[in-house]
Amino acid sequence: MSKLKILLYTGYSNPHWNHNTWNKEGLGGTEFCVIKLAEAFARLGHYVTVSGDVLEEKANGVDYIHYNTLGKYQGPINKLIKDKPRAFQHYNMVISTNYIHYIRVLKDQGISFDKSYFWLHNTHFYDWYKGKHLHSGGKNYFTHDKMNGIICVSKLHEDEMKEKASKAFGYTPSQSNTYIHSIDNAIDPNDWLKYDSNTKKDTILWTSSPDRGLKVLCDNWDKIRAVRPNMQLNVCCPSYANDWGKPNMDQDGINYIGSLCPWDLKTQICEAEYWIYQSDYFETYCISAVEMMLGKVKLISNGAGNIKNIMGNGDRGTIIDNNPATIVDTLMRENNDKTFAYKMSNKLNVAYNWAMTQTWDVRAQQWLLKYTNQ
């Protein structure tokens, strides 16, 4: 395949961000995925621009340019300054996340493109443009002649959005099957090369927004400590969600850590024995679960949303029901049942080997195949 010009557009964000922000502070899941997919495209030799509310930067072969200044950096490749980011008047492929107004933005910046895809990470999208809702909630853009498909982040997510397609996108059943597809999210094994599992026994790690089920662990903490007296719960949360539904954590053995940069978070993952996630939140993918597998952490979850698929229906983790008592029962059973404990430990290698195949390089190839064939 010849070199493509690829633009990933991310819409509005406060504060602004780029690769350096992720490297030092961490970012939300969507921005993380954009960075990693962009870098995978760049490793394949393509010209890649990331735009939106981003800070100007060149990093790992990717150009970061704010959407208001895309026009400023346009020009022939051979006339661009080596260390400055670059944009083009025409892109082969545009991928936009969550904000459907990208067609208007690119038109305003004088940018044309061959094909575009709406990369949906949630079960909703945003129709804001310059402080106002788009006409018809942006639904007219979903059948635009240059909008080639909605790409969900898992098959489960795809099926969910097909059920909502008429109301959400204005699609007929036929259009739903034509436009809505999925390419799974992924991980970057290169980020884990310098990390080895260094498990501290009786350590649970929480790495999500507090409102996605942390209260279950905190409310049942006395019962967990009754069967595992030395258990520790380390709570890490993304900075934007630190206060979302934060429960009472003023209990012995619960350690609030807060927001960490990606590298310090990986250290926490590699030291944890358990990731316990009993939630009613619909996870469209759940990269956190895959990262736990890379750190050889035991997964215990009710399999909310796509987590059950990531856990291989129990082959790569222990699936429990929605009753908090099953968390305590599982930990107690591991203590008392050697066969059960062996099975839980044996799943660690199965999970690790599977996770190592879920890479952004593989996903980039799948995106390019989508571009070629659709």
**Cβ–Cβ contacts within 10 Å for residue 220, how many?**
16
* Mean pLDDT computed over 174-188: 97
Q: Is the pLDDT of residue 78 over 60?
A: no
Question: Can you tell me whether residue 304 is helix, strand or coil?
Answer: coil
Kindly state the percentage of the chain with pLDDT values over 70. 98
My answer on whether 175 and 104 are in the same domain is yes
My answer on whether 147 and 229 are in the same domain is no
My answer on whether 31 and 76 are in the same domain is yes
pLDDT digits (tens, 9 = 90+) for 51-66: 999 999 999 999 999 9
Q: Please state, in angstroms and rounded to a whole number, the distance separating the CA atoms of residues 113 and 110.
A: 10
My answer on whether 80 and 177 are in the same domain is yes
My answer on whether 146 and 219 are in the same domain is no
Given strand 254-258, what is the order of strands in its sheet? 254-258, 232-236, 203-206, 274-277, 298-301, 318-319
My answer on whether 170 and 274 are in the same domain is no
My answer on whether 236 and 282 are in the same domain is yes
Question: What pLDDT score was predicted for residue 82?
Answer: 64
My answer on whether 307 and 369 are in the same domain is no
Question: What pLDDT score was predicted for residue 122?
Answer: 95
My answer on whether 197 and 318 are in the same domain is yes
* Mean pLDDT computed over 194-215: 95
Question: What pLDDT score was predicted for residue 80?
Answer: 56
Q: State the chain's maximal CA–CA distance in angstroms.
A: 70
Mean of the per-residue pLDDT values for the chain? Answer: 94
My answer on whether 222 and 233 are in the same domain is yes
Domain harbouring 206, CATH code: 3.40.50.2000
Question: What pLDDT score was predicted for residue 128?
Answer: 87
Q: Is the pLDDT of residue 246 over 90?
A: no
Q: Which of 129, 143, 141 is nearest to 178 (CA)?
A: 143
My answer on whether 304 and 367 are in the same domain is no
User: Could you tell me the pLDDT band of residue 242, with boundaries at 50, 70 and 90?
Assistant: confident
This prediction has a pTM of 0.95
Question: CB-hemisphere CA count at 13 Å for 23?
Answer: 5
pLDDT digits (tens, 9 = 90+) for 304-358: 999 999 999 999 999 999 999 999 999 999 999 999 999 999 999 999 999 999 9
Structure-model confidence comparison of residues 347 and 87, the more confident one? 347
My answer on whether 174 and 243 are in the same domain is no
Q: Is the pLDDT of residue 253 over 70?
A: yes
Kindly state the percentage of the chain with pLDDT values over 90. 83
**Domain count for the chain:** 2
Q: Is the pLDDT of residue 195 over 60?
A: yes
Q: Is the pLDDT of residue 43 over 70?
A: yes
User: Could you tell me the pLDDT band of residue 77, with boundaries at 50, 70 and 90?
Assistant: low
Question: What pLDDT score was predicted for residue 12?
Answer: 93
* Mean pLDDT computed over 293-300: 98
Amino acid letter for position 59: A
> What does the CA dihedral 192, 59, 99, 3 come to, rounded to 10 degrees?
-100
User: Could you tell me the pLDDT band of residue 81, with boundaries at 50, 70 and 90?
Assistant: low
Q: Is the pLDDT of residue 114 over 90?
A: yes
Question: Can you tell me whether residue 87 is helix, strand or coil?
Answer: strand
Q: Is the pLDDT of residue 243 over 80?
A: no
Structural domain including 117 reads 5-186+359-373
Q: Is the pLDDT of residue 218 over 90?
A: yes
Question: What pLDDT score was predicted for residue 79?
Answer: 58
